[in-house]
Structure 1
Amino acid sequence: MLLTPGPTPVPEFVRAAMATETLHHRTPEFEAIFKNTRELLLEILDMPEALMLSCSGTGAMEACIINLTAKKALTINSGKFGESAMIGLSEKAVAKLETNAKGYYFNLATELKNQRKNTTAWTAATTLIIGLGAILEKIKADGFDNLYADTKKRAEATREALKAIGLPIYPKTPADAMTTIFSEKSNEIRKILKNKYDVNIAGGQDDLNGKIFRINHMGLVAPFEASWAVNAIEKTLEELGLRTFDGTANKVFMETYFR
């Protein structure tokens, strides 16, 4: 069970969509898929423009810096990945691109010109765009607000469950994207969870390496998966001699999630 904050679990219906026959990116068939995915993305992001790039979020970040900053910029480092992000563009950003775009592969003006025609400047990541379209369709059908509400509910239930078995939440005002636990035994906990209970969670990085573990709440995570994770964590604590297992974590999770 993958419960890391990146990569996040990919639902079966998305994997099935991505497993369909590969399409050439310069065909009417793929352009129709691209058009639908782009329109869904603009709707969900609620931005005047959006771009899909064939790179990781770090590539998107660099593209924005290359194209939109002429001078030094002040940024607030909010953590390891605060150093590094589909791109949503404001009208002001679009206007600046049209007069001051830079770069070659990461030239966002060239990319925007092509994506407005439902194609890409360079070779498109066709299967990823098909998968993105599938998940955006699901989010739209279920309701974006409902996805946020369920994520918040799972996050709260997870935090309450883990606090109930004596684990400290980190930081004191956590975001609902993930639950982070401070523990000097984080590496041992993660190893047992993965090898014995098939629960794959993330650890800390840089100065927090070996001091925290992180449980993802983003994406389509079923409540039974989250309850399995907290139950497995309590069992792991017993194996490490840190507490006696009595089912508290699962009980508190269920009570909080379904109240």
Structure 2
Amino acid sequence: MARPIIHHRTAEFESIVEQIRADLKQIFQTSGEVLVLASSGTGAMEGAVSNTLCRGDRVLVVNSGKFGERWEKICGAFGIEVEEITVEWGRAVDPALIRQKLDKNPSIRAVLMQASETSTGIKNPTAKIAAITRERDDVILIVDGITAVGVFPLPFDELGIDVLVAGSQKAFMLPPGLSFAAMSTKAWEFNKTSDLPKFYFDFKAAAKSADKNTTPWTPAVSLVRGLSQVLKMFVGEGLENMHKRHAVFSSATRSAFEAMEMELFTKDEPSPALSVAVAPPDIGAGPLIKTLKEDFGITVAGGQDQAKGKIFRVSHIGYIDRSDTVAVVSAVEQSLKKLGHGFDFGSGAEAAARIISENL
């Protein structure tokens, strides 16, 4: 990525795009095109809406955390009517509720959800929900997979997802600036009748350019070159090993938190993308996060909205290996001890190291 910029309307750049297109299909597990956009993941989320729906359409949004709310705001900006399923933070949505909503209101045109809700750490049952929407020719499933693609199995074609978006700054190990979108045959049929405004995020234009191994607008050249190297690493490691790595690191970290006598915030199936713990109430998340940063140079995320000051979130995505995982756990232990939390010191690091050594 630090190499000199190359001209994007050249055979050299087109050859890079050609390889990226092939590799992204493997990662998304689709035979269709995976569009590459110069934007954050929210750009792909907006495009997923504007390229499939119409003014006045009604959609069902699963609000299981902060990023579920984003679907509502995007739809609202385009004049789309939103029906919401609100899920308790830390819980996954019950697919039966989605079936009930669709049966009760046949005017619903799309279900929008997060596969992995990073504000709470839960993994939503995408496969079960896709089985419901797959039965309906007049309903599409739009999935935010920004912290899911490359993290756990989410086979696009097999599950019957209709739109799946992702971003460069998560499992793809790159700086922010690229987003990705895959569209099913059903979604492309919806595209034909979509009347929402679109220009920069025109998926039809992006697909037409992709067929020529190029982009409709000036691409983020350095990030695209970085993506080509990341995808080579992914293909070399293999999807199964990638998914296993994330699963092991998240399992090790959660076990470590429990050994430190902390409550896990996620009550249903956790996302392997991160581990979320409730900080000891007498300490709070703020002092713990601050100590990790000042004493160890480690940055972890806090909670948002209702969870602010209560939880902290440790990521397992990106360029992270087993030594990083054990180091974070050890730093949390030392920080908690310094802040006065009583627990069996060393038990967390031991639990994490044991799970990693037994499974990787």
Scaled by the length of structure 2, the TM-score of the pair is 0.65
Q: When the two structures are aligned, how many residues end up with a matched partner?
A: 242
> Could you tell me the percent identity over the aligned residues?
34
Where does residue 322 of structure 2 map in the other structure? 223
Q: How far is the alpha carbon of 1:94 from its aligned partner?
A: 2.4
CA distance in 1, matches of 2:285, 2:27: 36
Q: Secondary structure at the match of 2:51?
A: helix
Q: Which has the higher contact order (CA 8 A, sep 6+)?
A: 1
Q: CA deviation at 1:95?
A: 3.4
**1:88 aligned onto 2:187:** no
Runs of 5+ unmatched residues, structure 2: 71-164, 166-179
SS at match of 2:212: coil
Question: What is residue 217 of structure 2 aligned with on the other side?
Answer: 122
Name whichever structure is richer in helix by fraction: 1
**Partner of residue 248, structure 1:** 347
Retained in 2: the 8 A contact 1:180–1:215? yes
Q: Is the 8 A contact 1:63 1:108 kept in 2?
A: yes
Question: Contact (CA 8 Å) 1:234, 1:245: kept in 2 or not?
Answer: no
Counterpart residue type for residue 278 of structure 2: F
- Cα displacement (A) at 1:32: 0.7
Q: How far did residue 244 of structure 1 move?
A: 5.8
Per-residue deviation, 1:100:
4.0
Letter in 2 for 1:80: K
Structure 1 gaps of 5+ residues are 1-17
C-alpha deviation, 1:168, in angstroms? 0.8
Deviation at 1:143, TM superposition (A): 0.8
Classify the secondary structure of the residue corresponding to 2:63. Answer: coil
**What residue number does 2:20 align with?**
37
Give the Cα–Cα distance (whole angstroms) in 1 for the partners of residues 61 and 355 of structure 2: 37
CA–CA distance in 1 between the matches of 2:205 and 2:215?
9
Give the conservation status (yes or no) of the 8 Å contact 2:51–2:203.
yes
User: Does structure 1 residue 137 correspond to structure 2 residue 236?
Assistant: no
The amino acid of 1:22's aligned partner reads I
Aligned-partner residue type, residue 247 of structure 2? K
Query: What SS does the aligned partner of 2:59 have?
Result: coil
Amino acid at match of 1:89: M
Write the distance in 1 (CA, Å) between the matches of 2:260 and 2:202.
51
> Contact 1:24 / 1:30 at 8 angstroms: preserved in 2?
yes
1:245 Cα offset (Å): 6.6
Q: In structure 2, what is the equivalent of residue 179 of structure 1?
A: 275
Higher fraction of strand? 2
The one-letter code of the counterpart of 2:325 is A
Contact 2:250-2:272 within 8 A present in 1 as well: yes
Letter in 2 for 1:53: L
- Tell me, yes or no, if the aligned pair for 2:278 and 2:312 is still in contact at 8 Å: yes
Conservation of the 8 A alpha-carbon contact between 1:67 and 1:97: yes
For 2:39, give the aligned amino acid.
Answer: C
Counterpart Cα distance in 2 of 1:243 and 1:197 = 20
1:68 aligned counterpart, secondary structure: coil
Kindly tell me: are residues 92 and 103 of structure 1, through their superposed partners in 2, closer, same or farther at Cα, counting changes over 3 Å? same
Show the counterpart of 2:36.
52
Once the two structures are overlaid, the 10-residue window that deviates more, 166-175 or 91-100, is: 91-100
Instruction: Please tell me whether residue 113 in structure 1 is matched to residue 208 in structure 2.
Output: yes
Counterpart code for 2:230? I
* 1:9 corresponding residue in structure 2: none
Report the residue type matching 2:63 in the other structure: N
The residue that corresponds to 1:5 in the other structure is: none
Query: How does 1:6-21 map onto structure 2 within 5 Å?
Result: 18-21=1-4
Choose from 61, 75, 79 the match for 2:65: 79
TM, length-normalised to structure 1: 0.89
